Structures are given as C-alpha cells and as structure tokens.
C-alpha cells in the first residue's frame, strides 16, 4: 500500500522508485513521503524542467525518491546535495517563490529498534544467515509502515523563506592545456599563464 495512492497516481509510484533505486528500504520510503508532502504543501505538479528546486541535507537513499517524484535532478541543476547527514529536505517553487522545509520524523515503529540493532552486523559482514534474514524482513516491515502511517507521523513540513539558486547555465567547452581533455570554461583554472582543469591544477600546484 502506498502513501495516499501517490495522490491519485499523479506522481511516480513507490514501485517506480524501487525499479530506479534497486531495492525498497526505509530511506527510500521517507524520501518518497517527503516529496509527496512537499509538493502537496506547495501546490505543484511534477515539473518538466527547473520549476522546482530540492535541497537535500543527506546523500542517502531518500534522494533517489526525490528525483523520481519531483523531477529534481543533479543534471538539471535543481537538486542540490549538502550532506550534513540530516534527513531534511527543502523544496522551492520558482513560480510562486514559496519554499517548504521537510523534516523526516522518527515515528514509533516497534520493529525499527530491532532492525537498527542488526544493521551493524549485517553491513559489516558479521551477521549469521538467520540474522541477515531477520534484518531484511524487518526492513520490509518498517518500509511498509513508513508508507502507510499518517503524513504527520512521518514528516514535519513548515514554510520557510529561501532564495532559489540560479537556473542551470550551459558553458562552452575548452581543452585543458595540460591533459587535453574538454572542460567547461567556468571550471578552468589559470596556472603559469595556461588554462588547465582542476585536477591538473591541483596536481601541478601540489608538486611545486
């Protein structure tokens, strides 16, 4: 069962997210719920271009949910990741100028504590087969709970004042004087009178 039936299927389904991300997990579920809550709060549909901006304060699984539901992507320049290790997401509508900050809550899910206790053993490779089986069983249960709990139990949404970043710019490509590879001209550095790419600049500057 999915959150609010993906608002009558106007947005990507959770199954779509699983196919994109590769597996179902609590992080993906919270990114999904955060995206739906933000778009509902802002009164926007999934944009075709850069009308919506997302700022993620984590680089974890939930970011893939945001990309699928909101259409904000790094390639378009309207998904910005500031990895503070916080499951917090800010969404900005360029058209209305409104923004919301969405905090993922810590709902009371009894199975989550046991899942968290097993996590370290599973990902360190020290878990027995039965512990691994139990961990993934619990992960499925927690994921389903996060999809079906009331919105206010999963996320807290508040309106904020945030200036949207500049829209994505397209730069001309020029050849690095050192390695010869093409580089966006805005990313070039000047060293000894030559225009070079950042890796070459750092390598040559550190060798001085």
| Model pLDDT, residue 8 | 47
pLDDT at 168: 63
**Average pLDDT estimate for 138-145:** 96
pLDDT band at 1 (very low <50, low <70, confident <90, very high): very low
What is the token pair recorded at 49? 């271009």
Mean pLDDT across the stretch 2-29? Answer: 81
List all residues 6 or more positions away from 108 whose beta carbon is below 8 Å from its beta carbon: none
pLDDT over 90 at 45, yes or no: no
Region 96-109: what's the mean pLDDT?
94
Q: Which band of pLDDT confidence, cut at 50, 70 and 90, is reported for residue 53?
A: very high
Q: How far apart are CA 111 and CA 143, in angstroms?
A: 10
The pLDDT of residue 164 is above 90:
no
> Looking at per-residue confidence, does 10 or 103 come out higher?
103
Mean pLDDT computed over 136-146? 96
Does residue 7 surpass a pLDDT of 90?
Answer: no
| pLDDT over 80 (residue 57) | yes
Sequence-separated (6 or more) residues with CB below 8 Å from residue 190: 196
Distance CA 105, CA 107 (A): 6
State residue 205's pLDDT score: 80
Q: Are 135 and 122 in contact (CB under 8 A)?
A: yes
Q: What is the CATH number of domain 173-206?
A: 3.30.60
Closest CA to 63 of 50, 52, 74, 51: 74
Q: Is 3 helix (H, G, I), strand (E, B) or coil?
A: coil
| Domain ranges across the chain | 4-107+149-160, 108-137, 173-206
**4-107+149-160: which CATH topology?**
60s Ribosomal Protein L30; Chain: A; (3.30.1330)
* pLDDT at position 35: 96
What angle (nearest 5°) sits at the alpha carbon of residue 195, between those of residues 189 and 199?
A: 55
Residue closest to 69 by CA, chosen among 2, 153, 166, 156: 2
**Alpha-carbon separation of residue 7 from 11, 49, 146, 186 (angstroms):** 7, 21, 16, 41
Name the band, by pLDDT with cuts 50, 70 and 90, for residue 98: very high
Q: What is the pLDDT of residue 2?
A: 54
Report the pLDDT value the prediction gives residue 25, as an integer from 0 to 100.
95
Q: Which two tokens mark 153?
A: 């139990």
Q: Output the average pLDDT for the chain.
A: 90
């Amino acid at each position: 069962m999915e959150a609010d039936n993906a608002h009558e299927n106007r947005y990507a389904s959770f199954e779509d997210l699983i196919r994109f991300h590769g597996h179902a997990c609590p992080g993906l579920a919270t990114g999904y719920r955060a995206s739906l809550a933000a778009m509902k709060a802002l009164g926007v549909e999934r944009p075709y271009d850069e009308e919506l901006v997302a700022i993620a304060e984590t680089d974890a699984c939930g970011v893939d949910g945001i990309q699928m539901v909101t259409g904000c992507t790094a390639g378009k320049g309207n998904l910005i990741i500031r990895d503070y290790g916080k499951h917090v997401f800010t969404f900005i509508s360029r058209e209305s100028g409104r923004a919301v900050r969405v905090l993922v809550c810590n709902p009371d899910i009894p199975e989550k504590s046991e899942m968290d206790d097993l996590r370290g053993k599973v990902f360190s490779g020290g878990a027995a087969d039965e512990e691994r089986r139990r961990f993934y069983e619990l992960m499925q249960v927690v994921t389903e709970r996060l999809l079906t709990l009331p919105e206010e139990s999963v996320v807290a949404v508040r309106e904020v004042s945030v200036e949207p970043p500049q829209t994505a710019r397209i730069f001309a490509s020029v050849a690095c004087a050192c390695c010869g590879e093409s580089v966006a001209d805005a990313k070039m550095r000047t060293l000894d009178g030559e225009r070079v790419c950042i890796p070459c600049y750092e390598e040559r500057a550190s060798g001085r």
